[in-house]
Amino acid sequence: MVYRMDQMSWSEFDQRRKETDTIIVPTGACEIYGPHLPMGADAIAAMAISERVAERTGALIAPMIPIGESNSLTCYPGTITFSKSTFELIIKELFENLVKYGFKHFLFVTGHAGNVDAISYYARQFQTKYDIKCGQIDWWRFTNTNGGDVFELSGYMAHGHASECGTSVMLYLCPELVHMERAQRIEPPKELYTDFSDVIRYVPFDKKTPNAIVGDATIGTREKGEKIVNKCVDRIVEYMNFEFK
């Protein structure tokens, strides 16, 4: 069965929206993701998770937003970024379109951390304004919370940018786009994570890493990727069955 709106005819969508009031909204980014992973990794993961969740819940999937607010990663070539205000407007108008079509339960699967705040801002507003329910999966932070028994390392060495977790997930979802011969272990200066850890800091990304890897990408495996994806999908479905009744 097709769950993605962009793969349906309008008449099929018109029927399916009468059968479910739950919509999944995937968002990603196009940004540097180490020398070994595709720049669309965030979007690839968000859509893959959305599809797996939709298959188990019957929810529909809104069109992907494949570009996010990635200004902090423009120090390397290839990153495409929206301004914060542009991304906020896109989220707002997509949200309002979906509300108009009768959806009452919204799950955002957010593949890029820079998108989280804008989504949260409108989710809080629209829950009250339209009497709807919203949830958000901040994907890579979600894997950190749920991946304690999956990965060899922990913290940023496992869950840093394009590291053990990200590499494993991509090896599972799209192995043909992964170049493990380019994977490296990059441990950034410890003071960036230990000194003044209680203060929000704005360290340029190229001060942390020479190639956009933060952590150990060399120990990523397909098996770890499959395990974390399945574990996280189980948890998301559990949440939806509880919250979106």
Q: What is the DSSP letter of 23?
A: E
Confidence at residue 39, expressed as pLDDT on a 0 to 100 scale:
98
| 192's tokens | 């960036």
pLDDT confidence tier of residue 26, bands split at 50, 70 and 90:
very high
| 139's tokens | 């994907």
For 161-219, give the DSSP string. Answer: TTSHHHHHHHHHH-GGG--GGG--EE---THHHHTTTTS-----GGGT-SSS--EE-TT
- Three-state DSSP state, 105: strand
- Which tens digits make up the pLDDT trace of 176-193? 999 999 999 999 888 877
Q: Is the pLDDT of residue 197 over 80?
A: no
Q: What is the DSSP letter of 75?
A: T
Q: According to CATH, what is the number of the domain 5-243?
A: 3.40.50.10310
pTM: 0.96
